[in-house]
Amino acid sequence: MDKKEYLKKIDEVNSRGPYTDTWDSLCEHPTPVWYEKGKFGIFIHWGVYSVPAFGNEWYPRNMYKKGTAENLHHVKKYGTLDKFGYKDFIPMFKAEKFDPSQWAELFQEAGAQFVVPVAEHHDGFKMYASELGCWNSAQMGPKRDVLGELKTEIEGRNMVLGASTHRAENYWFFNGAREIPEADVNNPEYAALYGAAAGITRDHTNIYDNPPSEEHMETWLVHTCELVDRYRPKLIFFDWWIQQYAWKPYLKRFAAYYYNRAEEWGVQVAIDAKFDAYVHGSAVKDLERGQLDHITPDLWQNDTSVARNSWGYTEGNDYKKPSDIVLDLVDVVSKNGALLLNIGPKSDGTIPDEDTHILREIGKWMKVNGEAIYGTKYWKVFGEGPTVVPEGHFTDTYEKKFTSEDIRFTSKGNHIYAIVLHWPEDGEIHIKSLGNDMKLLKSSIRDIELLGTELHPTFDRTETLKIFCGKVIEPGDMPVVLKITID
């Protein structure tokens, strides 16, 4: 099916409804129950950029910008850009050790409820089989339908498959090569991979400057709808630049198509988007490496990575501590959010030891304390304590120096989970929000349990709730959960 025929199909599906490409209609779409209950997912940045494994996943762009670290590294190691361009990494991307079953098993061990592979990054190379061009992993490089193989293993373990597409940014991603006439980007033979390589600003605050061409946006719409039709992902994640104002009609057409197709298939789906690209209520708000400082009644998401410096694998990644990620997860869930945690496999298809270690440590914590995360709702307040968590994008790298007074709450049925972010040496916890003075809890407390132990500690509820656990557990980096049963 060519582009013109696909555009016609999109409009035909949308004409049947029930959703139309209007904000009023799209805001009627409900957030999936699986998403609200699942809370924790795995993001996967894996592609051709994993071959050079230098800098970060923006290597394809920066290698064409004279004087950058990537450009100097590239010329020194691989040769000048007229001899070795980004396309020449594709045959080196063999994925010879890629085992989707092992990946899915590890994600399940980590406690993930949904998995979101990057189906296409800014570089224009698809990690799935497509009938809309040859620049994809099924026809080049690994010659495997990576997304399709992961879908089988992920859904076979009762996890939800999503997919992210960053194709919008391909419009300008390689534009640095326009200053290097000999670069392969300037050869029309490779335009289907490198895109328009047109001038554009990365200033996301300017939503009117340098809009993409209609041709690019129509191609984006068709490719994204093909992704939906071929793999039926239950979540579609978009990166930031689709907030550019010119995209709005195409975003609405895509959402209507996606939601309508999901109705046909009888599944619950969601779109993740940043910076109000989609109006409030029509998609799930995503904060990149970000936090909120309050509860929001609508589900939101923090997408972050195991590494501070890169989303894809690089040699020498700066990794976070597993406990820092669990602390982020707890804080996010207490404010009605979900955490999408990224890993970056190597080009051969192996998941680095550091990523694996982090996922397994998270899984150990979730095995004991997952009931305070999965299927929970936010409580009347998200928590208490002196430590301020900054709000906004790119804030989740704040130094996590929590005290025993820093507590987060979740709830389920007649249980309140008080999650202590730093356990005190004497095992005595004071919770102001559950004391009589705050008047937030007018029920009586029947029982308290320290998850992971057999202990049901004594407590005294006056102006605060004082819980006396003693030295049952040693203080550590991981948060500790008190399960409080009320009448």
**pLDDT tens digits, one per residue of 309-362:** 999 999 999 999 999 999 999 999 999 999 999 999 999 999 999 999 999 999
Tell me the CA distances in angstroms from 256 to 3, 21, 281, 283, 447, one per residue in order.
Answer: 18, 5, 14, 11, 48
CATH 3.20.20.80 segments of the chain:
3-372
The confidence score (pLDDT) of residue 399 equals 86
The confidence score (pLDDT) of residue 196 equals 95
The confidence score (pLDDT) of residue 201 equals 62
Count of alpha carbons within 13 Å of 37, Cβ hemisphere only? 8
pTM of the model: 0.97
- Record the tokens describing residue 308, joined without a space: 């501070």
Reported in sequence order, the residue ranges of 224-328 that DSSP labels E, i.e. its strands, are 235-238, 270-273, 284-288, 300-305
Residue type, 383: G
Domain 3-372 classification at class level: alpha beta
The confidence score (pLDDT) of residue 398 equals 87
Residue 481 dihedral angles phi and psi, to the nearest 5°: -110, 130
CATH 2.60.40.1180 segments of the chain:
383-486
The confidence score (pLDDT) of residue 200 equals 67
The confidence score (pLDDT) of residue 1 equals 82
Residue 392: other Cβ atoms inside 10 A: 13
Strand partners, 303: 288, 340
Q: Which of 90, 91, 58, 226 is nearest to 147 (CA)?
A: 226
The confidence score (pLDDT) of residue 204 equals 57
Low-confidence stretches of the chain (pLDDT < 70) are 200-205
CATH code for residues 383-486: 2.60.40.1180
Residue 91: other Cβ atoms inside 10 A: 11
> Which SS3 state, helix, strand or coil, does residue 118 take?
strand
Q: How far apart are the first and last CA of the chain?
A: 61
Give 399's contacts (C-beta < 8 A, 6+ positions apart).
none
The confidence score (pLDDT) of residue 397 equals 84
Residue 475 dihedral angles phi and psi, to the nearest 5°: -60, 140
Tell me the CA distances in angstroms from 73 to 52, 55, 79, 174, 312, one per residue in order.
Answer: 10, 10, 9, 17, 17
Tell me the CA distances in angstroms from 199 to 38, 175, 185, 454, one per residue in order.
Answer: 40, 6, 14, 63
State the DSSP code for 136. B
